[in-house]
């Protein structure tokens, strides 16, 4: 098999690397913003008695070859059960789907923020 050498003009590989780095940075910024918004919205909806569920909110950055973003959620034994049963009645406007709804409601904002970052990079 023959070896092929490619010569680039005008520092194209360097510029491509810079472009990818800026895109990844934009994705991180948009993801961080989304986590803050989702966390704040979710905190207003999560069932609240003494605050154990609310206080179990955790986020964890994810960066591997397949994904960039955050893992987020509430970590108690009963978090999933309360989340998945909209027939439960909670006090003071609190409700089930306290994580799912904020994610769905803010997905467009996150995508818009990332697209704005992408436009800035492409200038």
**Any idea where the domains of the chain sit in the sequence?**
12-122
106 burial via Cβ count (<10 Å: 0-12, 13-18, 19+): middle
What global pTM score does this model have? 0.75
- Please say whether the beta carbons of 53 and 47 come within 8 A: yes
d(CA 9, CA 30): 33
Which pLDDT value is given to residue 4?
Answer: 47
Angle between helices 12-45 and 100-122 (to 10 degrees): 160
Least trusted range by pLDDT, from 26-30, 49-53, 94-98 = 26-30
Reply yes or no on whether the pLDDT at 1 is more than 50.
Answer: no
Which pLDDT value is given to residue 95?
Answer: 93
Identify the CA nearest to 68 among candidates 108, 37, 36, 24. Answer: 24
In total, the chain counts a number of residues equal to: 123
């Amino acid at each position: 098999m023959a070896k092929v050498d490619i010569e680039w003009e005008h520092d194209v590989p360097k510029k491509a690397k810079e472009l990818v780095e800026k895109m990844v940075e934009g994705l991180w910024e948009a993801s961080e913003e989304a986590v803050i918004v989702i966390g704040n919205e979710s905190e207003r909806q999560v069932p609240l008695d003494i605050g154990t569920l609310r206080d179990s909110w955790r986020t964890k950055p994810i960066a591997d070859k397949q994904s960039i973003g955050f893992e987020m959620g509430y970590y108690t034994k009963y978090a999933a059960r309360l989340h998945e049963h909209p027939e439960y009645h909670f006090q003071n406007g609190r409700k089930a789907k306290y994580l799912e709804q904020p994610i769905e409601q803010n997905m467009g904002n996150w995508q818009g923020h990332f697209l704005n970052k992408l436009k800035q990079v492409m200038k």
